[in-house]
């Protein structure tokens, strides 16, 4: 059974720590399978667009993305190509409740990752899907959207400094 995991809230140090790649064999371990199920469940229950493993206290390169077709699990994901064309949009994060900011991101990205079975996948993402992927992959590098955002607000008030 999948269970709800507690979300690590900024400035929890786990959000800034190094995250390691998984070995393909590790994906067969019950502990990792359960973590992936729990991450998907937590993202859905918290209504997140995505969730990265450090947000649930695990310094592993795993991200879950909410898509129209269900939860997309990305293991050891990498962005191969980022479009030159960018777009500025407001972002938030489950680890930074009530904080929002405008972040410039590439409109399109080409991504490679392993799926939860360890199979290599490659795909293109555009628009909001591309944005969420970039946000979640930043988490895997210990980067939060407030590091890149401007006009950061908390509870509707503009913050002078967010870090």
* Cβ nearer to Ni ion, comparing 27 with 73: 73
Is the sign of the CA dihedral 24, 29, 35, 40 positive or negative?
positive
Q: Binding site annotation covers 93?
A: yes
Q: How far is the CB of 138 from Ni ion (least distance, A)?
A: 8
- Structure-token pair, residue 54: 């450090």
State the DSSP H helix or E strand holding residue 82, giving kind and residue range, or none if neither.
strand 70-82
Q: Is 135 annotated as a binding residue?
A: yes
Which residue's CB comes closest to Ni ion? 93
With respect to Ni ion, which residue has the nearer C-beta, 93 or 103? 93
Instruction: Write down the H helix ranges in the chain.
Output: 30-45, 127-140
Interface residue with Ni ion among 65, 93, 109, 132 (CB under 5 A) is 93
Q: How far is the CB of 97 from Ni ion (least distance, A)?
A: 11
Pick from 144, 134, 120, 116: which is nearest to 54 by CA?
A: 144
Smallest distance from the beta carbon of 119 to Ni ion, in angstroms? 26
Helices (H), 20-67: 30-45
Q: Which helix (H) or strand (E) segment is 64 a member of?
A: strand 62-67
68 is an active site residue: no
- From 31, 41, 136, 160, active-site residue: 136
Residue 139 labeled ligand binder? yes
- For the chain, the maximum distance between any two Cα atoms, rounded to a whole number of angstroms, is 47
Which residue ranges make up the site for Ni ion (CB under 5 A)? 93
Known binding residues for Fe cation: 93, 135, 139
Known binding residues: 93, 135, 139
């Amino acid at each position: 059974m999948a269970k709800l995991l507690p979300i690590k809230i900024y400035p929890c140090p786990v959000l800034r720590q190094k995250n390691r790649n998984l070995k393909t064999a590790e994906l067969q371990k019950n502990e990792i399978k359960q973590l992936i199920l729990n991450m998907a469940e937590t993202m859905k229950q918290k209504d997140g667009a995505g969730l990265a493993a450090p947000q649930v206290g695990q310094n592993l390169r795993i991200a879950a993305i909410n898509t129209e077709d269900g939860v997309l699990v990305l293991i050891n994901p990498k962005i191969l190509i980022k479009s030159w064309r960018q777009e500025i949009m407001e972002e938030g994060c489950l680890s930074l409740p009530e904080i929002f900011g405008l972040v410039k991101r590439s409109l399109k990205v080409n991504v490679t990752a392993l799926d939860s079975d360890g199979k290599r996948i490659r795909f293109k993402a555009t628009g909001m899907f591309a944005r969420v992927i970039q946000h979640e992959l930043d988490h895997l590098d210990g980067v939060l959207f407030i590091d890149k955002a401007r006009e950061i607000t908390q509870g509707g008030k503009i913050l002078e400094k967010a870090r």
